[in-house]
Amino acid sequence: MTGIATIRASIFQPLLHELDRKNRDAGGLLAAHGLSRRHLEDPYAAVPIARYIAFFEGAARLLDDQTLGLRLGSSIKPVDLGPLGLLFSAAPTLRKAFARMFEFVSVLQGATQAGMQRQEDFTSLIYQIEDPAIWPRAQDSELTVAGICRLSRFCVGSSWRPLEVHFEHDEPPHRAALERFFQAPIRFGQPTNRVLVSNADFDRPFQIEDRGLSLILERHVRDLLAERRQEADIVQGVEKLIGLSLGQEPVTIERLAADLRISPRTLQRRLQQAGTSVRQLLRAHRRTMAEARIASPHISQEAIAHGLGYSDGTAFWRAFKGWTGTTPTEFRRRSVKG
């Protein structure tokens, strides 16, 4: 198991503003995706990226506006991205600006492929959520790609345009709106999201860099990146301890905290910052192991229940049905047939 991919809570604020402005039920939509305004008030709090993507798509439906991602991306400013956005805008060229952006993108969100590929005449800026199961995600893709274009125009002028734009999703009904914004050829159904930029534009200086300011901002961004890595480390540490403890001893936050040599309160807070909890991690581990073991006809359900720390087979049966919508016996039968 790996840590849960997360995104900073600050990214939700433009979405919540749109929902509030149109008098839509933002609270109901948040609750439907296991989110709360209170948690999102801290811009540095972490939220599972799958919940963010699903919330974004739900917001577009609730607003009846499939151009939502495009509109939000086309109005983004460097300051909206916090210290990383300021570091971006302090660069002397677009190439340097995006090199910084992609180096530190995990400050904003995890599980993301973001980078640059240089060809003879142009450079491709690439963006994609790594997990293919997080779908649909057109709103996030259009926001990010439009944001790349908007940030470039913020730095070098409003007349700037890319050579070409690629989207991984199929052509939407609002293609004309996308073409008006990008002012460039657009291709849909591509392997990944890309923005193609001429090397001449990418390497042309647009300002003299204040190197002292850049160093201060970079130090701050590196500190934020270190915090993100600590969050990932704590999740992976808890996951490992759960795997070692299940079926041998009770899994409690007190025992986990003692093994990690931190207080239970600190463990709870750091897991919350990472967008998860002991209960969620324990549930995920049990489900993964249960589905793997139940597929084997040679292990009894009672043995599986004991190995996963359940008091009896009935408790395991109820939990398994809650996860999968089917009983362990039915799941095993289908697995054997498959």
Beta strands 186-187; 122-129: pairing state:
unpaired
Helix extents (H) in 8-48: 13-21, 26-32, 37-40
**CATH classification at residue 265:** 1.10.10.60
pLDDT at 95 over 50: yes
Banded model confidence at residue 1, pLDDT cuts 50, 70, 90: very low
Q: Based on the domain organization, do 169 and 309 belong to the same domain?
A: no
Mean pLDDT of 158-167: 97
DSSP SS3 for 196: strand
Mean pLDDT of 257-271: 88
Q: Based on the domain organization, do 273 and 130 belong to the same domain?
A: no
Q: Based on the domain organization, do 31 and 177 belong to the same domain?
A: yes
For the purposes of burial, counting CB atoms within 10 Å of the CB of 277, is it exposed (0-12), middle (13-18) or buried (19 or more)? middle
pLDDT at 185: 98
Whether 83 maps to a domain, the answer reads: yes
Q: Which domain holds residue 197?
A: 6-212
Q: Compute the distance between CA of residue 301 and CA of residue 293 in angstroms, rounded to an integer.
A: 9
Q: Mind listing the pLDDT tens digit for each residue in 202-215?
A: 999 999 999 999 99
Whether 49 maps to a domain, the answer reads: yes
Total tally of structural domains belonging to the chain: 2
pLDDT at 66 over 80: yes
Whether 191 maps to a domain, the answer reads: yes
Q: Based on the domain organization, do 142 and 28 belong to the same domain?
A: yes
pLDDT at 195: 98
Mean pLDDT of 258-272: 88
Banded model confidence at residue 4, pLDDT cuts 50, 70, 90: low
Whether 11 maps to a domain, the answer reads: yes
Lowest mean pLDDT among 61-70, 188-197, 208-217, 305-314: 305-314
Whether 31 maps to a domain, the answer reads: yes
| Higher local confidence (pLDDT), 163 or 109 | 163
Give me the residue label for tokens 């009672």: 302
Distance of CA 90 to the CA centre of its chain: 26
* Residue 42 near residue 9 (C-beta atoms within 8 A): yes
Whether 219 maps to a domain, the answer reads: yes
Q: What percentage of the chain reaches a pLDDT higher than 90?
A: 57
Lowest mean pLDDT among 146-150, 155-159, 293-297: 293-297
Q: Based on the domain organization, do 219 and 304 belong to the same domain?
A: yes
Q: Based on the domain organization, do 76 and 181 belong to the same domain?
A: yes
Q: Compute the distance between CA of residue 236 and CA of residue 287 in angstroms, rounded to an integer.
A: 17
pLDDT at 121: 96
Which of 164, 181, 212 is a domain's end point? 212
Which of 186, 212, 238 is a domain's end point? 212
* Residue 90 near residue 208 (C-beta atoms within 8 A): no
Q: Compute the distance between CA of residue 111 and CA of residue 109 in angstroms, rounded to an integer.
A: 7
pLDDT at 21: 96
Q: Based on the domain organization, do 67 and 120 belong to the same domain?
A: yes
Q: Based on the domain organization, do 121 and 163 belong to the same domain?
A: yes
Mean pLDDT of 120-139: 94
Whether 264 maps to a domain, the answer reads: yes
How many CB atoms are closer than 10 A to CB 326?
13
Q: Compute the distance between CA of residue 261 and CA of residue 264 in angstroms, rounded to an integer.
A: 9
For residue 118, what is the enclosing H or E element?
A: strand 112-118
pLDDT at 332: 85
Q: Based on the domain organization, do 232 and 169 belong to the same domain?
A: no
Q: Based on the domain organization, do 46 and 172 belong to the same domain?
A: yes
Whether 1 maps to a domain, the answer reads: no
Q: Based on the domain organization, do 189 and 279 belong to the same domain?
A: no
* Residue 167 near residue 181 (C-beta atoms within 8 A): no
pLDDT at 337: 67
| Higher local confidence (pLDDT), 145 or 310 | 145
* Residue 94 near residue 197 (C-beta atoms within 8 A): yes
